[in-house]
Structure 1
């Protein structure tokens, strides 16, 4: 019989009178991987934050190894052998890899001085376990997002925790890094560790998990062994309906060329040329490091071109900053919403209108608060944003709802061209469909959309054409009728399609 190492019973959590968890039960078994799934806002992260002492539960019981526990801080839960790898990175960018891994737990020698040699040697051991060969003295800010995610995992492993909670751990990882992570998860499981695996990627769940617990709208739908489930059943449990069409393609009449890029070149991209038409979705595919994100940021004015030109409606424009881009009707949704998309310490109203405040300034220079509220209410309704109120701080929203707010902020600038960089990263299957429907809505209204995505099914599902990049260059452009996964991957690795 499987041994319960954690038992959470009848957990209730309320924020400002709003119940976000309602009598939820949750179990973790020794030496097993438990998948915790549900749509954004279902309560997954909140439940785990209660287990680890980030939040205090309103009511209910938590038992660890058969004994009641009450954790009021993460330090208390860590001392009992629980580590939480959060979806949003919690690294100090200006510190080294080693300093981040052992932050607050630095080894000390005689006289209380930090033993730097041991710290870096031990750090090297943990990052090597994840297949990284970086110098542990390297500053975290110099690493890619995917490698920063691996450092978060190394940090948790260094705690020697018996229970490890992983919240969307592969969101920024390459295929090889994901494969290595799965190997580490299996090794941990086989050595008696217990893993809670939160993910929207259902294929991953079937690959490494033993059990699945599903939450919906803050309630428990059920717990099942993985062998009793398939993807369709899990989706039905998550959203309360069958998800027969994941990618709701909409056919529209494609108009004239709106954006044209000619021979765009800088240190990231090389002689990139393409056209984007009115009412078109141009999907941009490619492997990590192919220059997809850098291309979008160059068009948006974050990076400056060394040569080449950008034309809007046939006329050359100079874009030296994001403000220039916004003034020219170009908006950009960043792949990293926490770093570049939203301000977690501000509420919905402040975030939605942040990039378009000039629209809300009255005759005497004051901000029209009523107009701000009306705009935010409209986005909350149109985009089905789940929040206690328009004044709720973004830090208390789920990842998917944060993403919707980031999108609303960009749409509020009234763009004609929308650059989307991984628009559904960290978003569950139900919310993904909602975002696809929103993208289609704006496409039907004539907006031109360039969508960067590492998910080929997403690219194939809603794009009108596909542009594939390899090492900063355009390696191929395909009409959607001619595109398939094999052709995209062939172009992505720099080979010609026969």
Structure 2
């Protein structure tokens, strides 16, 4: 059995960032899972064409590529969600044709997605054994034996989560661990993780990595999908890069660099990820004075037309609550917000803030930003009813105009405006949220984690768009957990700590050490 061919990227390989030492990969041998020359098309569009993936027992294998590169489609093929139009799937050296997810699970192939399938209203033990035959006696579930079995799988992960606790009361990392334990309950030999750290803190990520390494050492094959390349270089043994539905290269992580991976993913030299900063005007667009909320404490600042104001801080620092208050999605307890030269009523809700020219792109785009089952056209139209209607009558022509403009300006990749948003990649879903809000032509655009869960190429597009908006006079206020992003995309950075502004710096003069000191409420270290 041979490993998939490794085409050499035509992109120049940069070497400014060196790879961290990766653990030694498992010895060559039969692959735990292979996808050979897989193709899949939808309505004439090729989602996969010549896709390859080969993961060995006892290795953590990164699957990388921009949004829309075909990663999710390939995962769905190897887990039985989709039947391939061409090519083969091989499990432990034998060709297989999974008829569905349960068939793949029975063969030991399990995928865990970013939106975990945890049922919050039932216990941890029930979630661990969900979908499996419950231990019973005389037709009645043996709760004692069920807890015993669930405990075994959690202990394998070195977890001490209370078994009777409702899953909805767990932290994000605990929910992830319960999902992994459920996979182990099905005797998973191939574990596919799609953006598993998207909602985890740094401490929780380290905890998850310990577990994944222990599973690798037990011989489990792990496919790791992430846009966080630093994680890939810390955790993974080998990597496979896809582009436009095709396999580009497979290689050892230790033989690559982050810059080389980016070049290969986007098919070109990425150059500067962040556009040049613009010129901030003297015109104050929004000002906040002594603002208070449940977590926000005495926050005051002003932002100007043409300015990109970055807001950072640790999780729980109040940064996201601040944006929700500014957008009217959460009420302030005191303080004033002034947009232009008009003070906003203290109890202004979202409609009033939109009318004032303040729009929010939320962090949780899937649950708060879009209606997944609705089309691109309907999502954009629903957020712009005043623009597309007169006297209560909706104009289809106006809807078409703003939808076509939004899809063109943001380069949304879709079959048509009538494609459901839930079928789009994460980056394109984020672009739909942006299109909805930009159609309102806001004076102040609030963005909470604007590039969370999207690939490097799409990040560059978002940064370019932010700069275009600022050049047109829009004020952009963006929250980010990533310090390099805060520095790169902003003109000025505010850092919050325990609800207060703990530091302010010009982004051009900022460095990560200074920002991190403010994140922890410490004085400037310079």
* TM-score bucket of the superposed structures, by smaller chain: over 0.9
The corresponding residue for 1:445 is 472
The corresponding residue for 1:351 is 379
8 A contact 1:106–1:119 mirrored in 2: no
Question: Which region of structure 1 is more displaced relative to structure 2, 456-465 or 312-321?
Answer: 312-321
TM value normalised by structure 2: 0.89
Q: How does 1:80-479 map to 2 (within 5 A)?
A: 80-105=107-132, 107-119=134-146, 135-143=162-170, 148-318=175-345, 319-363=347-391, 365-479=392-506
Question: 2-side partners of 1:440 and 1:140: how far apart?
Answer: 42
8 A contact 1:131–1:180 mirrored in 2: no
Indicate the SS of the match to 1:25. Answer: strand
For structure 2, the residue ranges without an aligned partner over 5 or more in a row are 1-27
Task: Give the drift of 1:151.
Answer: 4.3
CA separation of 1:128 and 1:488: change in aligned 2, threshold 3 A: farther
The corresponding residue for 2:21 is none
8 A contact 2:33–2:190 mirrored in 1: no
The corresponding residue for 1:9 is 36
Question: 2-side partners of 1:274 and 1:139: how far apart?
Answer: 41
8 A contact 1:470–1:494 mirrored in 2: yes
Question: 2-side partners of 1:59 and 1:344: how far apart?
Answer: 29
8 A contact 1:149–1:172 mirrored in 2: no
Question: 2-side partners of 1:304 and 1:239: how far apart?
Answer: 42
1:369-405 Cα shifts (integer Å, max 9, x gaps): 2221222121111111111111111111111111111
Q: How does 1:45-56 map to 2 (within 5 A)?
A: 45-56=72-83
Question: 2-side partners of 1:314 and 1:431: how far apart?
Answer: 36
1:209-231 Cα shifts (integer Å, max 9, x gaps): 11111110111112112222111
8 A contact 2:365–2:433 mirrored in 1: yes
CA separation of 1:348 and 1:145: change in aligned 2, threshold 3 A: farther
Indicate the SS of the match to 1:332. Answer: strand
Q: RMSD between aligned alpha carbons?
A: 2.1
8 A contact 2:41–2:48 mirrored in 1: yes
CA separation of 1:155 and 1:302: change in aligned 2, threshold 3 A: farther
Q: Which of 54, 59, 77 matches 2:86?
A: 59
Task: Give the drift of 1:98.
Answer: 4.0
8 A contact 2:32–2:189 mirrored in 1: no
TM value normalised by structure 1: 0.94
8 A contact 2:318–2:499 mirrored in 1: yes
CA separation of 1:40 and 1:110: change in aligned 2, threshold 3 A: same
8 A contact 1:6–1:29 mirrored in 2: yes
CA separation of 1:139 and 1:482: change in aligned 2, threshold 3 A: farther
8 A contact 2:106–2:186 mirrored in 1: no
For structure 1, the residue ranges without an aligned partner over 5 or more in a row are none
Question: 1-side partners of 2:276 and 2:98: how far apart?
Answer: 47
Question: Which region of structure 1 is more displaced relative to structure 2, 319-328 or 110-119?
Answer: 110-119
CA separation of 1:381 and 1:147: change in aligned 2, threshold 3 A: farther
Question: 2-side partners of 1:317 and 1:128: how far apart?
Answer: 54
1:399-456 Cα shifts (integer Å, max 9, x gaps): 1111111111121222111110100011111110001001111111111111000010
Question: 2-side partners of 1:98 and 1:472: how far apart?
Answer: 37
Question: 1-side partners of 2:318 and 2:156: how far apart?
Answer: 28
The corresponding residue for 1:29 is 56
